[in-house]
């Protein structure tokens, strides 16, 4: 049987993507808008996507579709229950970002903990150049050593982030799983409220689900230390963004580093884009995107397709 394989978002992966080793017809598009999805997937048995939304109304118009290969770990863009009920396999990518995301998280942590952005602004404004001292100590600098790292999410990325934290001499606490899933074996969990109260740095590494949407809101910010940092390299919807702005403006936390927004890309503006604060860093969803990680992802994407076609599916979420 020849499969029609359609890749809707080829430009979302800057890596070599090999063709599957079975009889197929391959079509790829640099990007795809919502109104193009149904037309482009007509007759396709295998869809390769990244962030394209495949909900019931769309899927119901694609009777030939048998497999969806998501080029990401997060699969909240797919109506998984509908796929399960209609025999469509959904596979995601796992383990590809265990170095790049933790490294990006710590880039944000270090920049904020040492006030790099604020000091850079001082230098650019010429303030150091007019100082009477050889150094210009206008912003607090704090070590990571001896501080507490709170982690929400104990999967591969959370564990890798914990390892870096321990290497810095940090005490690591894993928050009790707010997603109500089975706890990961071998992980000692601390109640979520206690992690909020004790963490000097709180870093999010859990999926976006109905249970985790708005996991961090104004009440959670009020429980955190005033010198705490919030890092989100997972999904934008985990944090109530209006509450984040309020927390930063009122000094409920010391700073935040985000790589994600609830709406991406923010074509029509976004309140966080206008937040010109030295203690807030926003990067454009690139924590996952090291060259090495993207190639690993590209390889595993086709591994998943080939395994499904061979009758030995792997990394299924349905």
- Check: CB of residue 228 under 8 Å from CB of residue 254: yes
Active site residue 285: yes
Residue found by looking up tokens 């997972």 in the block: 234
- In three-state secondary structure terms, 74 is coil
Active site residue 235: yes
Query: What's the Rg (C-alpha) of the chain?
Result: 22
β-strand partners of 232: 204, 258
296-312: b (≥16 Cβ within 10 Å) or e: bbbbbbbbbbeebbeee
- Alpha helices by DSSP H, the chain: 37-41, 56-59, 80-85, 100-113, 116-124, 156-167, 192-198, 218-223, 241-250, 291-309
User: Which is the catalytic residue, given 104, 113, 235, 315?
Assistant: 235
**Which of these, 59, 57, 58, 90, lies nearest to 76 by C-alpha position?**
90
In Å, how far are 73, 148, 160, 176, 287 from 151, measured between CA atoms?
18, 10, 11, 9, 17
Active site residue 103: no
Please tell me the total number of residues recorded for the chain in this structure. 318
User: Which is the catalytic residue, given 264, 270, 276, 292?
Assistant: 264
Q: Do the strands 24-28 and 67-70 form a parallel or antiparallel pair, or are they unpaired?
A: unpaired
Integer Cα distance of 143 and 98 in angstroms: 24
Integer Cα distance of 314 and 145 in angstroms: 40
β-strand partners of 230: 202, 256
Active-site residues, by number, are 235, 264, 285
């Amino acid at each position: 049987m020849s499969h029609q394989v359609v890749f809707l978002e080829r430009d979302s992966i800057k890596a070599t993507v090999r063709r599957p080793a079975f009889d197929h017809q391959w079509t790829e598009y640099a990007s795809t808008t919502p109104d193009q999805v149904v037309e482009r997937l007509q007759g396709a048995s295998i869809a390769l996507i990244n962030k394209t939304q495949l909900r019931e109304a769309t899927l119901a118009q694609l009777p030939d579709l048998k497999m969806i290969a998501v080029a990401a770990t997060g699969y909240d863009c797919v109506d998984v229950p509908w796929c399960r009920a209609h025999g469509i396999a959904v596979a995601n990518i796992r383990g590809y970002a265990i170095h790049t995301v933790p490294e990006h998280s710590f880039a944000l942590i270090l920049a904020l903990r040492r006030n790099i952005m604020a000091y850079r602004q001082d230098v650019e404004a010429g303030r150091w150049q007019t100082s009477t001292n050889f150094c210009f100590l206008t912003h607090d600098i704090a070590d990571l050593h001896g501080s507490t790292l709170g982690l929400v999410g104990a999967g591969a990325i959370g564990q890798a982030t914990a390892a870096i934290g321990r290497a810095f001499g940090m005490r690591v606490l894993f928050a009790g799983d707010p997603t109500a899933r089975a706890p990961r074996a071998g992980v000692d969990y601390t109640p979520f409220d206690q992690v909020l109260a004790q963490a000097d740095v709180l870093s999010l590494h859990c999926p976006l689900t109905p249970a985790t949407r708005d996991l961090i809101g104004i009440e959670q910010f009020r429980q955190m230390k005033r010198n705490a940092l919030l890092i989100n390299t997972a999904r934008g919807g985990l944090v109530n963004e209006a509450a984040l702005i309020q927390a930063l403006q009122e000094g409920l936390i010391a700073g935040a580093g985000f790589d994600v927004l609830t709406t991406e890309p923010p074509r029509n503006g976004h309140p966080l884009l206008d937040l010109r604060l030295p203690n807030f860093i926003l990067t454009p969803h690139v924590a996952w995107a090291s060259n090495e990680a993207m190639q690993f992802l590209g390889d595993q994407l086709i591994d998943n397709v080939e395994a499904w076609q061979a009758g030995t599916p792997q990394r299924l979420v349905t």
